[in-house]
Amino acid sequence: MVNPAHPGRTSIANGRHWGTRARDWAEIQEGQCRAAYDAVFDSLSFHIGMTCCDVGCGAGLAARLASDRGAVVSGIDAAASLLEIARERVPGADFHLGDLEELPFPDGVFDLVTGFNSFQFAADPVAALGEARRISKPGGRIVVLTWGNPQGMEAAAIVGALKPLLPPPPPGAPGPFALSDADALKAFATSAGLTALDVSDVACRWYYRDLDTALRGLGSSGVAAKAAEHSGAQAVDQAHAEALARFRQADGSYRLEACFRWLMASA
């Protein structure tokens, strides 16, 4: 499952895109997915001293939630500005800047490795997942979280709104919902040498108090930054505003549902 759109390491480009509006991401958008992080962690038996590594840790929300449950936390991300916030949130954690395909951790040291909407952004997702397996203890758990089934998902309209504004992908490049199919997600795990255990879905309600907040939050993703780089920030805001219109509430706020699918695997 090598992504033909990214034949080499992608940390420089990903770091630039995802780090452009780090504070907006941390303060507005990242928390929209907290229900998914909680669902994953609720399914596990945490204990004091449990070792956890979040790959593609972003601004560290999931890392902080794991730390709050007693885990000893590590993480890696491509964006230095996001890692700065992660270190503020979890001062005792071991955070690194780098590529998912070359994790800076020894073999077999983590009880849990999580990838919340991260593996699909690697140049070689299978290699990145293989690295997650390498750093896991024998029998350790690995979580891969991605978008759920786009059919009927309200947030899919937001994702689709940016497609015309992005550079044309190479033929055969996987789309944002490439791993949304449960069988494809299990096959992804198997291809990296993991044992697929369970696949579960979790709904997240996205809420923005007004249009400006919504545009700041949605515009802070790496995908939005890439679209803005290609087509302009104004075009991104306009596309988001048009896609959001049907979710506007009487009080001027915006509410829509997003669905995520996550796989639990064993190393």
pLDDT in tens, 190-199: 999 999 999 9
Does residue 74 contact residue 86 with C-beta atoms inside 8 Å?
no
Percent of the chain scoring above 70 in pLDDT: 96
55 belongs to a structural domain = yes
235 belongs to a structural domain = no
Please give the pLDDT value at position 62. Answer: 98
> Strand 94-97 vs strand 195-208: parallel, antiparallel, or unpaired?
unpaired
Please give the pLDDT value at position 171. Answer: 73
Please check the confidence at residue 209 and state whether its pLDDT lies above 90: yes
Please check the confidence at residue 83 and state whether its pLDDT lies above 50: yes
- Number of structural domains found in the chain: 1
Please give the pLDDT value at position 6. Answer: 38
Mean pLDDT for 86-101 is 96
CATH classification of the domain holding 77 = 3.40.50.150
Please give the pLDDT value at position 194. Answer: 98
> What residues contact 19, with CB distance under 8 A and at least 6 apart?
78, 79, 80, 81, 82
- Report d(CA 176, CA 154) in Å as an integer: 15
Please check the confidence at residue 175 and state whether its pLDDT lies above 80: yes
Please give the pLDDT value at position 3. Answer: 38
User: Which pLDDT band holds residue 9 (cuts at 50, 70, 90)?
Assistant: low
54-17-150 Cα angle (round to 5): 70
194 C-beta neighbours (distance < 10 Å), count: 23
Percent of the chain scoring above 90 in pLDDT: 90
214 belongs to a structural domain = no
Please give the pLDDT value at position 88. Answer: 98
> What residues contact 229, with CB distance under 8 A and at least 6 apart?
17
The mean pLDDT value of the chain amounts to 94
Q: What range defines the domain where residue 86 resides?
A: 11-150+172-206+259-266
Please give the pLDDT value at position 2. Answer: 34
Please check the confidence at residue 121 and state whether its pLDDT lies above 50: yes
Does residue 94 contact residue 75 with C-beta atoms inside 8 Å?
yes
Q: Which residues pair with residue 144 across a beta bridge? A: 115, 263
Q: Quick one: which of 156, 177, 168 has its CA closest to 243?
A: 156
Please check the confidence at residue 240 and state whether its pLDDT lies above 70: yes
Check the CA dihedral 126-223-114-41 and report its sign. negative
27 belongs to a structural domain = yes
Please give the pLDDT value at position 170. Answer: 74
Please check the confidence at residue 173 and state whether its pLDDT lies above 80: no
**Could you identify the residue written with the tokens 């399914």?**
43
